[in-house]
Amino acid sequence: MRRRGYIAVEGPIGVGKTSLAEKLAREINARLVLEDADNNPFLPRFYQDPDKYAFPAQLYFLLTRYNQQRDLLQQDLFAQATVADYLFAKDRIFAAMNLLPDELKLYDGVYKLLDAEMAKPELVVYVRANIEVLAERLRKRNRDFERYISYEYLERVSAAYRDFFFYYDEAPLLVVDTSEIDFVANPEDLADLVREIDNAGPGTQYFVPRKG
| Rounded Cα distance, 61 and 14, in Å | 18
Instruction: Provide the 3-class DSSP secondary structure of residue 22.
Output: helix
Mean of the per-residue pLDDT values for the chain? 88
pTM to 2 decimals? Answer: 0.88
- How confident is the model at residue 29, as a pLDDT? 86
- The single-letter DSSP state of residue 88 is G
Secondary structure E strands in 41-157: 82-84, 123-128
- How confident is the model at residue 78, as a pLDDT? 58
DSSP 196-211: HHHH--SSEEEE----
Phi, psi of 125 (to 5 degrees): -105, 110
- How confident is the model at residue 211, as a pLDDT? 66
Q: Does the pLDDT value for residue 129 go beyond 60?
A: yes
The pLDDT tens digits of the residues spanning 141-189 come to 777 666 767 888 889 999 999 999 999 999 999 999 999 888 888 889 8
- How confident is the model at residue 149, as a pLDDT? 78
Domains, the chain, with CATH or none = 6-207 (3.40.50.300)
The pLDDT tens digits of the residues spanning 26-43 come to 888 888 999 887 789 998
- How confident is the model at residue 157, as a pLDDT? 92
- How confident is the model at residue 18, as a pLDDT? 92
- How confident is the model at residue 171, as a pLDDT? 94
CA distances from 47 to 13, 97, 108, 166, 209 (A): 13, 13, 22, 27, 33
- How confident is the model at residue 37, as a pLDDT? 77
